[in-house]
Homo-oligomer: A and B are copies of this chain.
Amino acid sequence: MVEICEVGPRDGLQNEKVILSVDERVEMITKLINSGIQFIEAVSFINPKIIPQMAFAERVMEQVPRRKGVRYAGLVLSSGGMERALASGLDEINVALAASNTFNFKNARRSTEDSLAEMTPIIYKAKGKKHNVSGVIGTAFGCPFEGSISFSYIRFIINTFLENGVDAITLADTTGMANPKQVFQIVEQFKEHFPRVKLGLHFHNTRGLGIANVYAGYQAGVRRFDASIGGIGGCPFAPLSVGNVCTEDIVHMFEQMGETTGIDLDQLIQIAKWTEGKVEHPLDGYVMKAGPVERTIS
Residue ranges of A at the interface with B (Cβ–Cβ < 8 Å): 142, 144-147, 175-177, 179-182, 205-209, 211-212, 214-216, 236-241, 246, 249, 252-253, 256-258, 282, 285-287, 289-293, 296-298
Query: Nearest B residue to A234 by beta-carbon distance?
Result: B290
Q: Would you call B182 and A256 a contact (CB within 8 A)?
A: yes
Q: Would you call B180 and A239 a contact (CB within 8 A)?
A: no
User: What are the residues of chain B within 8 A of A176 when measuring CB–CB?
Assistant: 290
Q: Would you call A282 and B177 a contact (CB within 8 A)?
A: no
Q: Given the known A-B contacts A147-B297, A177-B296, A297-B144, are A206 and B290 also in contact in the complex, defined by CB atoms under 8 Å? A: yes
Q: Would you call B236 and A293 a contact (CB within 8 A)?
A: no
- The minimal Cβ–Cβ distance linking A270 to chain B, given in whole angstroms, is 15
Query: What number of copies of this chain does the assembly contain?
Result: 2
Query: Nearest B residue to A249 by beta-carbon distance?
Result: B208
User: What are the residues of chain B within 8 A of A214 when measuring CB–CB?
Assistant: 212
User: What are the residues of chain B within 8 A of A181 when measuring CB–CB?
Assistant: 256-258
Q: Would you call A239 and B177 a contact (CB within 8 A)?
A: no
User: What are the residues of chain B within 8 A of A182 when measuring CB–CB?
Assistant: 256-257
User: What are the residues of chain B within 8 A of A208 when measuring CB–CB?
Assistant: 211, 246, 249, 252-253, 285-287
Q: A145-B297, A179-B256, A238-B289 are in contact. List 9 more A-B contacts (CB 8 A).
A: A206-B290, A207-B292, A208-B252, A208-B253, A211-B211, A236-B282, A237-B289, A239-B289, A240-B290
Query: Nearest B residue to A214 by beta-carbon distance?
Result: B212
Provide the bound-state CA to CA distance between A251 and B155, in Å: 31
Q: Would you call B144 and A209 a contact (CB within 8 A)?
A: no
Q: Would you call B286 and A241 a contact (CB within 8 A)?
A: yes
Out of B144, B180, B286, name the residue touching A205 (CB < 8 Å): B286
Provide the bound-state CA to CA distance between A41 and B144, in Å: 36
User: What are the residues of chain B within 8 A of A291 when measuring CB–CB?
Assistant: 240
